[in-house]
Chain A
Amino acid sequence: MTSPAVRITNPRTDTPLIKTYVELMKLRIIELLLITTLPAMVAAAGGWPGWWLTFATLLGGTLSSAGANAINQVIDRDIDKAMTRTRGRPLPTDRVSTTAVLVFGSSLGVAGFAWLWATTNLLAATLSTAGLLFYVFVYSLLLKRTTTQNIVIGGAAGAVPVLVGWAAVSNSLDLAAWIMFAIVFFWTPPHFWALAIRYREDYERAGVPMLPVVVGEKRAMEHMLAYTFVMVGATLLLYATGPVGWIYLTIAAASGLAFLAATWLLRDHPEAAMKYFGYSNVYLSVIFIAIAFDVLVLA
């Protein structure tokens, strides 16, 4: 047991401060972002990009994403307080001040830019920071509370890491990088609308116009199917034009059909929304792991 003298806690809640700041970074979301970054690097390099470059890029991406997540929680603190799912976060529970979080988030963002510029190149650093700024200003401030398209356009921020990964290796953005961007971009709406179906009352209470709240679950699921079609098409486009081969094609085709089927079946089983949400994480991981595996094996 640690003595009180060495355990730095928030006097209001007795939560270790470091735990609070780790929570602000939302590392579980970042995990998924990194799963897309590394395969993009492998694809750009046509093989293993090197341990140092991999570590540097993933760390830089983590810093930028963590900064964006922290600043977003300042902007959304009233929404977070209103929603059951998020009311336990650091700001709604007054575990830390908004000023402290703003400073923390901004510092992470600046550190991410500086780190990536120093260890990779200016393009990767700029893209990573652009993703942060897009998430804060376009998604959080402009779109989230005003339009059902919030997570469609705002989801571009979550697709930026693949561009960062590609740029870190090649200092350019090729067609394949943009196709991978499109895969994540069109994956995002079905992924988040499933969450919104599950927490529909929560979003409604908070006044956030998530599509299922505004048009109802049934119609939202029709939209989800549309975006899934485009996403699966994009995964096939990567084979048709990009650096991947038959291993990837086989996995992408099979998992794409499975995901389409899951999206179709959700229409009659909305109670399975959280299972679908979890499955969407698995699907995206499978696609990007398949990219890396294909390139590494067939290179």
Chain B
Amino acid sequence: MQDAVLIIASVAVAAGLALIMWRELGSGRVRRKVGVVRDTIEVLLPVVATGGLVWWAWVA
């Protein structure tokens, strides 16, 4: 049961992160108030950290 939930959770997180990257980075030209480097870092920081968390969940 836990394995099945781990898979479902990982898929949900991955789908959400993919959607975040698509909408955030895709709309950058419209919404960006800071430079592109800082903006990209701000978007990717939580995405990478969360990816790391899911990886930790798999290996723990």
Question: Which residues in A have some Cβ–Cβ distance to B below 8 Å?
Answer: 143, 146-149, 152-153, 175, 178-179, 182, 185-186, 209, 211, 214-215, 219, 222-223, 225-234, 236-237, 239-241, 249
Contact = CB atoms under 8 A, between A and B. Distances in A.
Interface in B1-33: 2-3, 5-6, 8-17, 19-20, 23-24, 27, 30-31, 33
Nearest to A242: B57
Given A219-B27, A249-B5, A147 B20 contact: no
A234 B39 contact: no
Contact of B30 (A214, A227, A229): A214
Contact of B2 (A209, A222, A239): A239
B23 A240 contact: no
Contacts of A233: 8-16
Given A153-B45, A215-B30, A249-B5, A237 B23 contact: no
List of 7 A-B pairs having minimum Cβ-Cβ separation, nearest first: A229-B16, A233-B12, A230-B16, A233-B13, A226-B19, A236-B9, A240-B6
B12 A229 contact: yes
Contact of A230 (B13, B31, B38): B13
B40 to A, nearest CB: 10
B5 A240 contact: yes
B31 A237 contact: no
Contacts of A249: 5
A179 B57 contact: yes
Interface residues of chain A: helix, strand, loop or mixed (majority)? helix
Interface residues of B, number: 35
Given A223-B24, A229-B13, A240 B2 contact: yes
Given A149-B42, A230-B50, A241-B60, A225 B19 contact: yes
Contacts of A237: 6, 9-10, 13, 53-54, 57
A287 B54 CA distance: 19
Nearest to A240: B6
A146 B38 CA distance: 11
Nearest to A229: B16
Contact of A240 (B9, B30, B33): B9
Contacts of A175: 53, 56-57, 60
B6 A229 contact: no
Nearest to B5: A240
A198 B36 CA distance: 29
A229 B33 contact: no
Contacts of A209: 31, 33
Contact of B39 (A147, A219, A223, A227): A147
Which of B3, B45, B46, B56 is packed against the most chain A CB atoms within 10 Å?
B46
A148 to B, nearest CB: 5
B48 interface: no
19 contacts: A143-B42, A146-B33, A149-B43, A153-B46, A182-B50, A209-B31, A214-B33, A223-B24, A226-B16, A226-B17, A226-B23, A227-B16, A229-B13, A230-B13, A230-B16, A233-B9, A233-B12, A234-B9, A240-B6
